[in-house]
Each structure stands twice: as structure tokens, then as C-alpha cells.
């Protein structure tokens, strides 16, 4: 048996999406920049996809730009907020994805930007009082960067309130919305976001394609220079199949949103309860307000626990470790460190989807019981 419990890392391509992509691959090979029939045909597919995506987030089509993924989108927003819009202070949550954190470090080192890390509590929630006073202090000099939902522990931030505070103080606001898209309804303007990013492979679409939302009141210069694609905002021949696949996957996710949410929440609760009842001394990371599909579990220290990811893989269970190898030593991830996690415990992130079954969860629990040091009863 092979059980895939790593949907926060990536998701499989839905067969319906694949079918649509293959059809475009076979029938539509024109370059969207060409003015002849084949070019116009390709362009139409791209613009139809843009319309679907803009509608999904209740924004105008001129505010959605296609990219190679969320890494590019996050780099673009941060670098151009500094270079185009002259922001010199970045307020950020310490649990952002590395594509955000490393870009901030770059801007700090090479562009003289002042980067201020916000405090998060042991559940990963941003200290709102501190955030408010920093936003007030730096006002229109700053950009606030806070991911909507964290990819390791699932904590969901109060983006709505942060948006209101930013708006009141003239502060730009970027949210990495990657892990929320397709799972919860999102309206970028209502959240007072200046920028947002998305990635198709996190919602059962293809890899290598994503988008950036740029509020029309805050235009930035392009990040990649070249041709006039994406209305001069992102040069390079468009990934037509990817873009069409992303729009199609999003459409399906929205249609199935309520059903997926209900099923996966119940499945996760079942998993959590079984772990709680049948394994000894485990801790769940995150907040009560966490993504419905992520379960971050810390196991007590032992020789067996250290081999957990490898043993799970041997047993056919695919999940992610909450630690990274730094200079040959296993260390808690930056997210676990930020929430003050006990580094002696071994953390595994299980991320579920509607494709998982109760049988798979039962199998996983039984295997975990034999792989962890102590189990109850």
C-alpha cells in the first residue's frame, strides 16, 4: 500500500485537468503573441483562464498576471515593492515560506532594506498588537508580508484585520495565499490586499505555473524583462497548457470546495483522535484556526522516532519531516523554531486531501504505532 499524505507539498494532477491540458497541447500550438489564427487561438485560451481566475477572487482581469509559480510571484512583489515603489521597511512573519524569507534577506543585504520580524505565539499566530504598532510606526514606508495559511503547521492568520490596519496606515500588504487557494473562498480586495500569490500544483493543477495579483492602484515594474507578454509585466512565451490547467483546477476546486472541506475535516479529526487515543505523549502543532487538511504531529524523542520519516517511507507512507538538515545536523524547521517547539521532539507534517480514504488513515495509524516508542493500550 502507498499512502500519499503530503498534499501541502504538492497535489496530483486531476484527470479532468490533464485531459483539458492534453487537448490544448494537441490542438493549440500557436504562440499567443502571433497575430494569425493560431496565435489568436492560444491567446483566447489564456484570456479565458485569466477571466476565470479573476472572477474566482473577485478582482479585475487586469490585476492577474501569470508566473512560473508562487516563488516567482513572491520574489516579484517583494523586489518590486522596494525597487518600484520605494518601500524601505519590510514587516514580515517569521514563519513565511523560504521563497519569501530568502528574498527579504537578499533585499536586506543588497538593497539596504530594514526587515523587521513580527512575533508569533506558540500556535504560530501573529501578535496583532505588535503588528498594529509597527504598521502605525512605519506607515507608507513599509510593506507588510504575512502568509494567509502556513504550509507546515497550517495556522491561518487574521488577514482581514491586518488588511484593515494596513489600509488605515497607508502600508502595502502582501499575502502568500498559496495554501488557502481552492480550500476557502478568497476575495483579495475585501481583504485589502495589495498583492497575493498562488500556485497551481497546490490545488490539483500542474506544476510550474502560478499567478500574482497586483492591485491596480499599486502598479509595479516587471520582474522579468523581454517581450510584451502579460501586458508588459512578465516577459516570456506563456505556459498555455499550465495556465489553462490552473484555471480548470481552480474551477473544480471551487465547485467541490464545500464537499472537500467537510470530508477532509472529518478525516483529519478521525486521524487526530486515533493518534491521541492510541499513541503516547504526542503533541499537535498549530492553532485551532488551522487549515483543515494539515496535521502537524510531534513525537517524543527516541531512536525509533529519529528514523520515522524513513520508516514511514519504507511502509509506503509519504509525509514531510518538520526538520531540515543544516550543516549535517537535523534541526527543527524555521517555523517550528519560531513557535518555540521542543527540538528534541520529532515532527511530521501530514497533509490530507479529498483523495485520501479512511482505510489509508487506519493503515497509517497502525504503522505509526509500531514505529513510535510507546503506544497506549
Catalytic residues: 325
Q: What is the DSSP string of 67-131?
A: ESSHHHHHHHHHHHHHHTT---EEEE-TTS-HHHHHHHHHHHHHH--EEEEPPB-TT--B-HHHH
174 binding ligand PLP? (CB under 6 A): no
Strand pairing of 283-285 and 294-299? antiparallel
Q: Which stretch binds ligand PLP (CB under 6 A): 174-182, 216-224, 245-253, 343-351?
A: 174-182
Among 13, 56, 70, 220, binds ligand PLP (CB under 6 A): 70
Residue 119 and residue 122: Cα distance in Å, rounded? 10
Residue among 53 and 368 whose Cβ is closer to ligand PLP: 53
Where in 185-224 is the site for ligand PLP (CB under 6 A)?
199, 210
Residue 212's φ and ψ, nearest 5 degrees, are: -125, 140
Where in 14-33 is the site for ligand PLP (CB under 6 A)?
none
Check: CB of residue 8 under 8 Å from CB of residue 349.
Answer: yes
Among 75, 103, 151, 372, binds ligand PLP (CB under 6 A): 151
Maximum Cα interatomic distance, the chain, rounded to a whole number of Å = 71
**DSSP SS3 for 335:** helix
**DSSP SS3 for 301:** coil
Residue among 194 and 199 whose Cβ is closer to ligand PLP: 199
In what helix (H) or strand (E) does residue 320 lie, and over which residues does it extend? strand 320-321
156 binding ligand PLP? (CB under 6 A): no
Q: Which stretch binds ligand PLP (CB under 6 A): 33-41, 63-71, 282-290, 322-330?
A: 63-71
Compute the least distance from the CB of residue 282 to ligand PLP, in Å. Answer: 24
Compute the least distance from the CB of residue 50 to ligand PLP, in Å. Answer: 18
155 binding ligand PLP? (CB under 6 A): no
Q: For residue 114, what are the β-bridge partners?
A: 89
* Region for 336 from its dihedrals, namely left if φ exceeds 0, alpha if ψ lies in -120 to 50, beta otherwise: alpha
The residue count of the chain comes to 377
Compute the least distance from the CB of residue 255 to ligand PLP, in Å. Answer: 23
- Name the nearest CA neighbour of 183 among 124, 243, 250, 270: 250
Q: Which stretch binds ligand PLP (CB under 6 A): 42-50, 131-139, 175-183, 324-332?
A: 175-183
Cell triple for 39:
496565435
Burial of 332 (0-12, 13-18, 19+ CB in 10 A): buried
Among 18, 45, 87, 97, binds ligand PLP (CB under 6 A): 97
Residue among 118 and 371 whose Cβ is closer to ligand PLP: 118
Among 171, 179, 229, 287, binds ligand PLP (CB under 6 A): 179
176 binding ligand PLP? (CB under 6 A): yes
Residue among 200 and 282 whose Cβ is closer to ligand PLP: 200
Q: How many residues bind to ligand PLP according to rule CB under 6 A? A: 12
Compute the least distance from the CB of residue 294 to ligand PLP, in Å. Answer: 11
Among 5, 11, 32, 69, binds ligand PLP (CB under 6 A): 69
178 binding ligand PLP? (CB under 6 A): yes
Residue among 68 and 301 whose Cβ is closer to ligand PLP: 68
Q: CA-CA distances (angstroms) from residue 26 to 20, 42, 178, 200, 240?
A: 10, 12, 30, 21, 12
99 binding ligand PLP? (CB under 6 A): yes
The DSSP letter of residue 300 is: P
* Region for 112 from its dihedrals, namely left if φ exceeds 0, alpha if ψ lies in -120 to 50, beta otherwise: left
Binding residues vs ligand PLP (CB under 6 A): 69-71, 97, 99, 147, 151, 176, 178-179, 199, 210
Amino acid at each position: 500500500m502507498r499512502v500519499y499524505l503530503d498534499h501541502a507539498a504538492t497535489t496530483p494532477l486531476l484527470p479532468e485537468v490533464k485531459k483539458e491540458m492534453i487537448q490544448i497541447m494537441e490542438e493549440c500550438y500557436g504562440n499567443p503573441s502571433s497575430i494569425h489564427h493560431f496565435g489568436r487561438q492560444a491567446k483566447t485560451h489564456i484570456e479565458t483562464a485569466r477571466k476565470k481566475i479573476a472572477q474566482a477572487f473577485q478582482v479585475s482581469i487586469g490585476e492577474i498576471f501569470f508566473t512560473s509559480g508562487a516563488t516567482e510571484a513572491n520574489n516579484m512583489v517583494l523586489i518590486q515593492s522596494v525597487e518600484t515603489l520605494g518601500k524601505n521597511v519590510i514587516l514580515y512573519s517569521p514563519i513565511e515560506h523560504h521563497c519569501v524569507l530568502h528574498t527579504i534577506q537578499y533585499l536586506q543585504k543588497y538593497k539596504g532594506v530594514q526587515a523587521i520580524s513580527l512575533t508569533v505565539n506558540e500556535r504560530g499566530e501573529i501578535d496583532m498588537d505588535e503588528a498594529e504598532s509597527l504598521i502605525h510606526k512605519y506607515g507608507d514606508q513599509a510593506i507588510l508580508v504575512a502568509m494567509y495559511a502556513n504550509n507546515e503547521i497550517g495556522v491561518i492568520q487574521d488577514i482581514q484585520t491586518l488588511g484593515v490596519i494596513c489600509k488605515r496606515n497607508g502600508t502595502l500588504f502582501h499575502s502568500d495565499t498559496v495554501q488557502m487557494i481552492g480550500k476557502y473562498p478568497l476575495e483579495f480586495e475585501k481583504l485589502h490586499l495589495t498583492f497575493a500569490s498562488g500556485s497551481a500544483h497546490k490545488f490539483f493543477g500542474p506544476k510550474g505555473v502560478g499567478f500574482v495579483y497586483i492591485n491596480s492602484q499599486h502598479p509595479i515594474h516587471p520582474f522579468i524583462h523581454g517581450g510584451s507578454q502579460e501586458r508588459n509585466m512578465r516577459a516570456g512565451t506563456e505556459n498555455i497548457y499550465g495556465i489553462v490547467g490552473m484555471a480548470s483546477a481552480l474551477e473544480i476546486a471551487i465547485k467541490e470546495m464545500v464537499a472537500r472541506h467537510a470530508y477532509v475535516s472529518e478525516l483529519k479529526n478521525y486521524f487526530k483522535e486515533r493518534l491521541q487515543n492510541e499513541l503516547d505523549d504526542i503533541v499537535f502543532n498549530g492553532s485551532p484556526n488551522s487549515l483543515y487538511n494539515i496535521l502537524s504531529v510531534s513525537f517524543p524523542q527516541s531512536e525509533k522516532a529519529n528514523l520515522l520519516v524513513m520508516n514511514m517511507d519504507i511502509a509506503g507512507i509519504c509525509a514531510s519531516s518538520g526538520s531540515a538538515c543544516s550543516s549535517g545536523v537535523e534541526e527543527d524547521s524555521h517555523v517550528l523554531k519560531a513557535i518555540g517547539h521542543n527540538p528534541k521532539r520529532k515532527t511530521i507534517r501530514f497533509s490530507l486531501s479529498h483523495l485520501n480514504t479512511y482505510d489509508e488513515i487506519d493503515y497509517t495509524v497502525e504503522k505509526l504505532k509500531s514505529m513510535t516508542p510507546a503506544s497506549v493500550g
